[in-house]
Amino acid sequence: MTPMTAGRTTAGPGALGWTNPLRDPRDKRLPRIAGPCGLVIFGVTGDLSRKKLMPAIYDLANRGLLPPGFALVGFARRDWGAEDFGKVVYDAVRAHARTPFRQEVWDKLAEGFRFVQGSFDDDDAFDRLAQTVHDLDRVRGTGGNHAFYLSIPPAAFPVVCKQLARSGLSAQDGEQWRRVVIEKPFGHDLTSAIELNGIVNEVFPEDSVFRIDHYLGKETVQNVLALRFANQLFEPIWNSHYVDHVQITMAEDIGLGGRAGYYDGIGAARDVIQNHLLQLLAFTAMEEPVSFSSDELRAEKIKVLNATRLVGPIDETTARGQYTGGWQGGELVRGLKEEEGYDPNSRTETFAAITVEVDTRRWAGVPFYLRTGKRLGRRVTEIAVIFKRAPHLPFDATMTEELGQNALVVRVQPDEGVTMRFGSKVPGSQMEVRDVTMDFGYGTAFTEASPEAYERLILDVLLGEPSLFPVNSEVERSWQILDPVIEAWASADGGPDPYPAGSWGPETANHMVARTGHTWRRP
């Protein structure tokens, strides 16, 4: 047994992980370490790469989860040398890394940096990239295992995929693996998503395609599964007999200044509901899988999405809005149409809300309200399960006038944790019941800080662990759910309803839930 093969274990199709050879493979307490491999980033000069990808790679190395010979290759049109690229990575790490900077870790990691200059339609550049990858296999021991991260606009996917195929970079030989990582958006409707999936799958088989939804890498999203299936306390009441409705919210307090090129014409529904919120719904509503293997987990998610349907009529059960200027956080901010680069007549929505139901025995009749928006009251993402009122309250009305409905709220960001709301007696001689909360926070319950989502997801790519990545059928089914809403809004006479910055959306969103006797939570 050579040093390059000691402790090698299989981690999914074609994946190579590295563990202690004396460790019981069933013991999940110890982390799995990526085997020999490299990562090529296209779009390495962009914000995502600088703020998320490069820092995540350093943090993985700092935690000892990357192999000693790990290689990072940047591909861009900039006229950089290897030292220039190293300086860019260094600045990104120092500015955005989660873990403390250690010079010895950096020095070891930087030995594997390479840069290839070129454009996406440049055959010579991709030939140089192929040669660089082969050289890394020889001098760094990457073993022919490479992932290609397409941090680029979807319009560039076809040419890059064709270049990867033409240059032989996508070819897999024996136990070697090649994988591609795709950032959202996965198309802009069902037709384009099917076309995009076809382009990618012509070059990479589906089990080698990893579609990044960074929300699925967050600890609290995964904690939904632990909360439900590891605790007998919740699962018996996680159904329509006890649950009144579910609210899934992703709110941001920032505007869209500087993002006109990406966001205008896309809007909040395509940007967030089609991927993030429908995936959160799937985790919330899915049945218990036989195991947490990728196949079993995906199967249950797909069942939920196949059972999910829009509640109509769309003009009453959905809402869209566009923020106007106003005061937010003590600052006077501009409306979308005053932001640089936006058409004064833009019909792009910055707030979107829809109503869906999951037609299964567990959830029949329970509305799921999904909402997202920019320039809202605060930055927060949460899943709120609101329970039905007790069927009989042996109290006078005055005893429970401040009593609401029981709720279990999973806070995905920024203050990760879980809150329970229930009624409790107010101290004193009178029988008075008032809502109280019981709170669990990751920051106070655990000594170790949660990894960034991209740390988990990049490591899963290198390990070949696909559980947290949507497959073709999930992406296409999500568009099937959302497309009727987009089409109805496009054909409507009016545009999005205005709402002032710092509020919680347009008044039509309140009417949307009020029609069934509900109100939005104020996170």
Amino acid residing at 507:
E
> Which residues are tagged catalytic?
276
d(Cα 470, Cα 195) in Å, to the nearest integer? 16
In Å, the largest CA–CA distance within the chain is 84
Q: At a CB cut-off of 8 Å and minimum separation 6, what does 45 contact?
A: 76, 78, 88
Q: Give the Å distances, CA to CA, from 294 to 12, 220, 280, 302.
A: 9, 18, 17, 12
The 3-state DSSP class for residue 331 equals strand
Q: Which two tokens stand for residue 237?
A: 């009441």
Amino acid residing at 221:
V
On whether the CB atoms of residues 60 and 165 are closer than 8 A, the answer is no
- Of 450, 434, 432, 451, give the one whose Cα is nearest residue 442: 450
Task: Estimate the share of the chain in helix, then strand, then coil, as percent rounded to the nearest 5.
Answer: 35, 25, 40
Helices (H), 187-341: 190-203, 219-229, 260-263, 267-268, 278-285, 294-307, 314-317
Radius of gyration of the chain from its Cα atoms, rounded to whole angstroms: 25
- Of 385, 459, 377, 450, give the one whose Cα is nearest residue 422: 385
Per-residue HEC secondary structure of 81-94 comes to: CHHHHHHHHHHHHH
What distance, in Å, lies between the first and last C-alpha atoms of the chain? 57
On whether the CB atoms of residues 477 and 328 are closer than 8 A, the answer is no
On whether the CB atoms of residues 24 and 62 are closer than 8 A, the answer is no
- Of 294, 153, 155, give the one whose Cα is nearest residue 216: 294
- Of 272, 249, 239, 476, give the one whose Cα is nearest residue 358: 239
Q: In the 8-state DSSP scheme, what is residue 9?
A: E
| CB-CB neighbours of 101 under 10 Å | 12
On whether the CB atoms of residues 16 and 125 are closer than 8 A, the answer is no
Q: Which two tokens stand for residue 66?
A: 């990357």
d(Cα 191, Cα 177) in Å, to the nearest integer? 30
